[in-house]
Chains A and B, each alone.
Chain A
Amino acid sequence: MMKRAILNLALVTVFATASLAAQTLTVWDFKYSEVNATGAQAPMKANDAAFEKANPGVKVVHVAQPTVDTQYYPIIQSAAAVNDGPDVAMFHPGARVEGFADIIVDLDPYIKDVKGQFTAASIEMCSVGGKVKVLPITMQGFGIYYNKALFKKAGLDPEKAPKSSADFLAACEKLKAAGIVPITTGQTYTIDFFLRCQAANAYGPNVAGLFNGTQKFDNPVFKESAAFMKTLVDKGYIEKDGFSRPYFMDSIDKFGTPSGGAIFIGLLSDVGNWKAFSDALGVNNVGYFPAVNFPDAKYKDQQVMQGAGIGYGVMKWSKNQKLAAAYVKFVSTGEGAKTYSSATGSLSPNTQAAGGATTYPVLKVIQNYLKSGQKDYIPLGYNGYEDEANRLCDRAFVTGEISIDKFIDEYQKLITK
């Protein structure tokens, strides 16, 4: 009897100690499955280990969730339906955070000491109703990369970016004549990203006006940009084969090969960015400019950007909200932010975590353009807005079902749908 009592006591003690010792923090992440060279998993693992070391007794369980929006967010939606799930979850700031704002903790009480480190644009994008909902680990943007070696091969000056519409068309013609694919293309996003780049030149600092009625998509520069894209398709400069090829990651990988194509409309952070392309093509072989300039445009060389690309939020159902907030702070500031940015090539919205990638000439070019950063209009829309906009782009530029005028009309209607 005595022996059994002692045994039970020992068991209870062991279990109690174990439960006290291992405080688990669950993180859901749509980038954790990236295991490629500049992928997110390695720096995330390093950050998790550093956080565990700094917080003895804490175990971070980092869960790789699906990378696609239409697979990841329904999982968050399901978790919300049962009011249970991860302590920390990754989000795209903008419409997605706004859509889930009611299940994400206000971070303001936890981040008073670090809030000032983040750019104002990133904090604005991560906030809903004036409350900070997520802390960003990247800022995002789109632009036009080109392969300098292929430019040289086609007889073009690789140091002169074809920024004007005339130069751009002339460069495409010369590349095509040299048997080089002028613009490497991917399903859906090539056109989407191009229009987002061009909106920065069309509206300058007034992009947000598209959503309050002060700006319209029939703006001459935006309309000219759409017509320009149609010209690129019609003249065969846009690689039509690419319209059925997944942008992520097939087209990105294709541009990253020496003969993969001369021009690519790509991302600044996360995947398929300046670092990945420089590592693949040679640091001196990647050129960049933010948009195509039209002669009569008021704004030129404007860089479209999202103050925040991805970030982490603390979920309201978490029983470890304080610890979860500490984790979010840890990975988005200081060494955590630096570790992530330097490994992935992501641009950090944390002003104290600027990467030291000075060996990449193209980064200096990008950083220069970022000074003229303008808002991206897609995250200002509603959940599902990008999907609808992209289907419309397909109908105008891929299938040719609708004219450019009709496209502009329908694109405008989507704003208030």
Chain B
Amino acid sequence: MRRRRGLEGDGAVPYVFLAPLLALLAAFMIYPVAMNIVTSFTEWKGYGPWKWIGLANYKTMIGDEQFLASILNTGLMVLYIPLSTIVTLLIAAFLREGIGGWKVYRAILYIPNLLGYVLMGVIFSIYLRDDSALNTAIRGITGSPIHFLISPVLAINTVGLLLVVFLHLGFGLIYFLAAMNGIDKSIYEAALIDGASFWKTFLRVTVPSIRFAVEFWVVFNFIEVFARMFSFIHTLTQGGPGYSTFTLEYGIFIQAFSKFKVGYSSAWSVVLFAFCAMISVAQIRLMQRRDE
């Protein structure tokens, strides 16, 4: 007799096994998200009673310059994702070629990932100050420092380059090298016999062979940009100068924990959630395509 697909044929056992995970999912994902959506329609300071105010938070948000600045800044960070992807792929491809001591380079480039965003934010806040040793050296050569942290244009681009490109590099290398190791070596040998250059091999063999890994990397970077930049920005620029590095995620923190407008902050969070949900849907679609 053919066994039925799904859980029905196994009685309650699968549900028992699933229950702990479902309980955790409900407690730490579904409930907070649902409560956040509910809170976004209220005026609440994080404790005590709340007041239902309907769509007022959303109306305020649309006209809020800080919110618009945060969307713009987050969008700017997204623009660094292609650069991050290309740079990481290229360096991984170089390392895969077997440069002498490549394991050492890989280890060095991975160190920032071990230190984490908070430490890296603090370290760069010291390195990039106008009176830092780095800027003293730059001043010695050019006559003036580079205002990494106090020029609005430089500050946001510094965050983009450091966080999206540099700090993701170590993990990206490990990830792409692992993916590249899965490529059949005979393809590279064939390319070599045909006289293909490094670039041709990279574009025609390496990248197409790890396309799914690249797609996942892009999705991963989107999530990082939308939902994991806070600690780095908080320790490096605190969203400043002015609102020049004030991202959506940073704004949520300021509204909730500096102004104690938790209801309003929740409305910002709903927008962030919507972005993340769209990215997740894209990721699921990619995975489904790979399965097919």
Answer whether A and B are interacting partners: yes
Q: How far does the Cβ of A379 sit from chain B's closest Cβ, in whole Å?
A: 15
Q: How far does the Cβ of A94 sit from chain B's closest Cβ, in whole Å?
A: 14
Mostly, the B contact residues are: loop
- Residues in chain B near residue A392, CB distance under 8 A: 242
Do B150 and A387 touch across chains, with their CB atoms under 8 A apart? Answer: no
From 208 to 259 in chain B, residues with beta carbon under 8 angstroms from any chain A beta carbon are: 239-244, 253-254, 256-259
Whether a CB of chain A sits under 8 angstroms from the CB of B116 is no
Q: How far does the Cβ of B226 sit from chain A's closest Cβ, in whole Å?
A: 21
| Contacts A243-B130, A244-B149, A383-B260; A391 near B47 (Cβ below 8 A) | no
Pick the residue among B48, B130, B148, B259 that contacts A245 (CB under 8 A): B130
Q: How far does the Cβ of A208 sit from chain B's closest Cβ, in whole Å?
A: 22
Whether a CB of chain A sits under 8 angstroms from the CB of B112 is no
Tell me the number of A-to-B contacts counted with CB atoms below 8 Å.
85
Do A244 and B150 touch across chains, with their CB atoms under 8 A apart? Answer: yes
- Residues in chain A near residue B148, CB distance under 8 A: 244
Do A399 and B150 touch across chains, with their CB atoms under 8 A apart? Answer: yes
Do B254 and A384 touch across chains, with their CB atoms under 8 A apart? Answer: yes
Q: Mark B24-65, 1 if CB is under 8 A from A, else 0.
A: 000000000000000000000111100000000000000000
- Residues in chain B near residue A77, CB distance under 8 A: 45-47, 257, 260
Whether a CB of chain B sits under 8 angstroms from the CB of A240 is yes
- Residues in chain B near residue A387, CB distance under 8 A: 254, 258-259
From 120 to 171 in chain B, residues with beta carbon under 8 angstroms from any chain A beta carbon are: 128-131, 135, 145, 147-152
From 71 to 106 in chain A, residues with beta carbon under 8 angstroms from any chain B beta carbon are: 73-74, 77-78, 80-81, 83, 99, 102-103
- Residues in chain A near residue B147, CB distance under 8 A: 244
Whether a CB of chain B sits under 8 angstroms from the CB of A404 is no
Pick the residue among A80, A242, A399 that contacts B242 (CB under 8 A): A399
Closest A residue, CB atoms, query B152: A399
Q: How far does the Cβ of B159 sit from chain A's closest Cβ, in whole Å?
A: 14
Bound-state CA distance A384–B258 (Å) is: 5
- Residues in chain A near residue B242, CB distance under 8 A: 391-392, 394-395, 398-399, 401
Do B130 and A240 touch across chains, with their CB atoms under 8 A apart? Answer: yes
Do A394 and B259 touch across chains, with their CB atoms under 8 A apart? Answer: no
Do A244 and B244 touch across chains, with their CB atoms under 8 A apart? Answer: no
- Residues in chain A near residue B243, CB distance under 8 A: 391, 395
Mostly, the A contact residues are: helix
Whether a CB of chain B sits under 8 angstroms from the CB of A69 is yes
Q: Mark A57-79, 1 if CB is under 8 A from B, else 0.
A: 00000000000011001100110
Closest B residue, CB atoms, query A254: B131
Bound-state CA distance A55–B148 (Å) is: 55
Residue picked from B45, B243, B258, most chain A C-beta under 10 Å: B258
Q: How many residues of chain A have a CB within 8 Å of chain B?
A: 30
Do A399 and B151 touch across chains, with their CB atoms under 8 A apart? Answer: yes
Bound-state CA distance A73–B151 (Å) is: 30
Q: How far does the Cβ of B121 sit from chain A's closest Cβ, in whole Å?
A: 13
Bound-state CA distance A387–B145 (Å) is: 27
Whether a CB of chain B sits under 8 angstroms from the CB of A382 is yes
Pick the residue among B241, B253, B259, B260 that contacts A398 (CB under 8 A): B241
Do B151 and A245 touch across chains, with their CB atoms under 8 A apart? Answer: no
Q: How far does the Cβ of B36 sit from chain A's closest Cβ, in whole Å?
A: 14
- Residues in chain A near residue B46, CB distance under 8 A: 77-78, 80-81
Bound-state CA distance A69–B260 (Å) is: 12
Whether a CB of chain B sits under 8 angstroms from the CB of A241 is yes
Do A401 and B152 touch across chains, with their CB atoms under 8 A apart? Answer: yes
Residue picked from B135, B253, B254, most chain A C-beta under 10 Å: B254
| Contacts A80-B48, A99-B45; A395 near B260 (Cβ below 8 A) | no
Pick the residue among B47, B129, B130 that contacts A81 (CB under 8 A): B47
Closest B residue, CB atoms, query A81: B47
Q: How far does the Cβ of B263 sit from chain A's closest Cβ, in whole Å?
A: 13
Closest A residue, CB atoms, query B234: A70
Pick the residue among A80, A398, A401 that contacts B47 (CB under 8 A): A80
Bound-state CA distance A74–B258 (Å) is: 8
- Residues in chain B near residue A394, CB distance under 8 A: 240-242
Please give 10 more A-B residue pairs, beta carbons under 8 A apart, in addition to A77-B260, A241-B131, A391-B240: A69-B258, A77-B47, A83-B47, A99-B260, A243-B241, A382-B259, A384-B259, A391-B242, A394-B242, A398-B150
Give 6 nearest A-B pairs by CB, closest first. Answer: A384-B259, A80-B47, A395-B242, A241-B130, A74-B257, A81-B47
Can you list 27 contacts pairing A with B, beta carbon distance less than 8 Å? A70-B253, A73-B260, A74-B257, A77-B47, A77-B257, A241-B129, A241-B145, A242-B130, A242-B131, A243-B150, A244-B129, A244-B148, A245-B131, A382-B259, A383-B260, A384-B260, A387-B254, A387-B258, A387-B259, A391-B241, A392-B242, A394-B240, A394-B242, A398-B150, A398-B241, A399-B151, A401-B152
> Residues on A close to B: CB < 8 A?
69-70, 73-74, 77-78, 80-81, 83, 99, 102-103, 188, 240-245, 382-384, 387, 391-392, 394-395, 398-399, 401
